[in-house]
Structure 1
Amino acid sequence: MIASRGDDPALIDRFLEMMAAEAGAAKNTLAAYRRDLAGASELLGGTLGCATSGALVQLGEHWLPLASSSVARKASALRRFFAFLAEEGLRADDPSDALPRPGVARTLPRILDHADVDRLFAEIARRLEIDGSPANLRLSALVELLYGSGLRATELVSLPRNLIRHDQPFLILRGKGGRERLVPISDRARAAVASYAATLPREGAWLFPSGKAHLSRVRLFQLLRALAADAGINPERVSPHVLRHAFATHLLEGGADLRALQTMLGHADIATTQIYTHVDGRRLVELVNQRHPLADAPLSARVDAGRDHS
């Protein structure tokens, strides 16, 4: 199915379902997205889903009287909407580059700290100790892959049955926009997947099957919320996307290179990855003070060194 005139209401509904399941968007956030998307659709005569770059330029001109924060919010909603359409194969292109980009600071992602993550895994371990059922083994594999590899929810639930091998610490994944990337799989994650995969029938297309298809993003979201509640964490704080953010943030805190992180997350633009540096400013200052070649040299020596090179 390719988006066409008259499809906007159904496309908006599908997008909001994804936002609730994958990004864990709150009701107020979903309502704001619906208002912005429905308003844009109305201005474009019900053709938002198949809008051209030229139509989006006109839309931006219509927003000129609005505050920059309002324009930024509306443009952000539309960018996520068009990215979703492209990812789902509902559009062959993404025209969102034509949307305005007012100078408004980006919202920082919600994250879990190390203690929160420890509580999640402690709850999984508790469940497995009581009952090593396929359902608990599946949950262990899901969370290990979300936090240990930074997979998007859609990428995770649709993993092919035999893509992850016990002797291969990485996989080649095709993500957003059809871009391929190298995804590292930790020893813990491979062990969790192996234990869970042993419960599956030999035949089957999906690693996480459900009925005739694979596990849905909505069900993944529900499983994580239930796990968080049992671990003593506010369920509103936990979603597949939050665990992906935690993967990125904690790797950066541990000294990961930003370019390497960009590759692992599958970001087309490193500016998207740079949002994670907000959590690590103090560590970066300490890194400069400890590792810079002149860090241990007295000030007089630095001045003399500067004169020698002038």
Structure 2
Amino acid sequence: MSSSVVFVEKWPVLGRHGKAAEWLQVWSDLGRAARTIDAYGRGLSEFLIVCEREGVDPLTAGRADVAVFVRELTERPHRRGANVASIDSGAGLSNATIQQRLVPVRLFFGFLVEEGLRESNPVGRGRFVPGRHHGGTRRGLVPRFTKLPWIPDEQQWRDVLAVAADEPIRNRVMLALAYDAALRRAELCSLRTDDVDPGRRMLRVRAEVTKNRRERTVPYSAPTGVLLTGYLARRATISRARGPLFLSESRRNHGEPLTLWTWSKVVRRIALAAGVERFSTHTTRHLCLTDLARMGWELHAIATFAGHRNTDTTLQYIHLSDRDLADKLAKGMDHIHAWRVAMLTGAEATGTAK
């Protein structure tokens, strides 16, 4: 079955708009990850549905029509309830989700411009503009909010570890590797037996499973190495075949590769049991990178370790660590305090105090 047929089956609205299906097929042929294609297909199909409802031809839609789509996203109830929605935006989808939905719409209009079917793209994106107010950034269609990643405090982390201590060895080693090597969920669940070098305590994170398609090699700690050795012995009782490192032990999927969703459920269960509901599969990565910043690692070293293409992303963890701010504040306040005290005592000494 061709991928275009699969697209139409999954998102029937694409079948009613040939250029939309053609655009998504191009991205699929270019080798974009399945999850990226899924996000593109979902976002564009939602826009096309709004266009059909409003009686708008997507090929000629303007900025006002895109604005209607944005309004629909901001007013849409969150699937997890009003309380979750209010954390980010007060109503509807979060700012990050709205940005994600707009990406395929912008790319689709860019495709139409390249094909000569439009003259301009109604979905603007923020970009640097030299000379504008002495150099600055022109805002995109929807302002982008940048928030620092959430990390647990020491007590919350201890609570999570206390619950995790009773987990099977597979779950414990996965949690340890996720923290030690700052692994994303997909990177962790995609590890294979030949990605592990126990002798040097190193992991190879293959390019095809990373977010930006850049391979990297990262270390893990000696305690994690002990856990991993124990897990490998356990894994040998399930399967001696080389391949995916982490295997399911359930009756239904015994010996099958552990899925992303199963790992998410494991972490969610641990988080709820520990009373730290904000803890997720990505929290260990945030915490590791913040700890590296706290230890004084340089920006580019942290970026290389994390596999960040842009150091702007890495800077979030530098800021979150408060590595330099506290020292600078203390030194600055000491100086100011000493100056104020000197002024006060000097005033009293000369008898000019009032």
TM over 0.5: yes
- CA distance in 1 between counterparts of 2:67 and 2:263 reads 40
Following superposition, the deviation at residue 180 of structure 1 comes to: 0.7
Select 1:270's aligned residue among 311, 316, 329.
311
Asked whether the 8 Å contact 1:171–1:184 carries over to 2, the reply is yes
Asked whether the 8 Å contact 1:120–1:228 carries over to 2, the reply is yes
Q: Which residue of 2 aligns with 1:51?
A: none
Asked whether the 8 Å contact 2:202–2:217 carries over to 1, the reply is yes
Following superposition, the deviation at residue 205 of structure 1 comes to: 1.3
Q: Alpha-carbon deviations, 1:60-117, whole Å to 9, x = none?
A: 78546869x96965662237889xxxxxxxxxxxxxxx86233533133222223222
Following superposition, the deviation at residue 3 of structure 1 comes to: 6.0
Q: Alpha-carbon deviations, 1:224-254, whole Å to 9, x = none?
A: 1222233x323x3121112221222222222
Following superposition, the deviation at residue 167 of structure 1 comes to: 1.3
For 1:285-304, list aligned pairs within 5 A.
285-287=325-327
Q: Percent identity?
A: 23
Asked whether the 8 Å contact 1:208–1:215 carries over to 2, the reply is yes
Distance 1:208 1:167, change over 3 A: same
Select 2:285's aligned residue among 241, 244, 248.
244
- CA distance in 1 between counterparts of 2:311 and 2:150 reads 19
Asked whether the 8 Å contact 2:212–2:309 carries over to 1, the reply is no
Distance 1:6 1:206, change over 3 A: same
Distance 1:105 1:213, change over 3 A: same
- CA distance in 1 between counterparts of 2:51 and 2:221 reads 47
Select 1:39's aligned residue among 37, 46, 63.
46
Distance 1:74 1:160, change over 3 A: closer
Q: Which residue of 1 aligns with 2:8?
A: 6
Q: Which residue of 2 aligns with 1:206?
A: 244
Distance 1:239 1:99, change over 3 A: farther
Q: Alpha-carbon deviations, 1:172-197, whole Å to 9, x = none?
A: 31222321112221222222111111
Q: Which residue of 1 aligns with 2:160?
A: 120
Asked whether the 8 Å contact 1:75–1:100 carries over to 2, the reply is no
Structure 1 residue matching 2:313: 3-state secondary structure: helix
Asked whether the 8 Å contact 2:290–2:320 carries over to 1, the reply is yes
Structure 2 residue matching 1:182: 3-state secondary structure: strand
Q: Which residue of 2 aligns with 1:195?
A: 230
Structure having the higher Rg: 2
TM-score of the pair, normalised by structure 2: 0.56
Is 1:168 equivalent to 2:200 in the alignment? yes
- CA distance in 2 between counterparts of 1:42 and 1:191 reads 53
Select 1:100's aligned residue among 125, 134, 148.
125
- CA distance in 1 between counterparts of 2:235 and 2:190 reads 15
Structure 2 residue matching 1:238: 3-state secondary structure: coil
- CA distance in 1 between counterparts of 2:124 and 2:10 reads 18
| Structure 1: gaps (5+ residues) | 20-32, 46-54, 83-97, 128-134, 300-310
Distance 1:74 1:61, change over 3 A: farther
Q: Which residue of 1 aligns with 2:321?
A: 280
- CA distance in 2 between counterparts of 1:286 and 1:154 reads 35
Farther off after superposition, 70-79 or 221-230? 70-79
Q: Which residue of 2 aligns with 1:258?
A: 299
- CA distance in 2 between counterparts of 1:38 and 1:116 reads 40
Select 2:275's aligned residue among 217, 233, 236.
233
Following superposition, the deviation at residue 34 of structure 1 comes to: 11
| Structure 2: gaps (5+ residues) | 15-33, 53-57, 75-93, 106-122, 127-139, 340-354
Q: RMSD of the TM alignment (CA)?
A: 4.2
- CA distance in 2 between counterparts of 1:113 and 1:3 reads 47
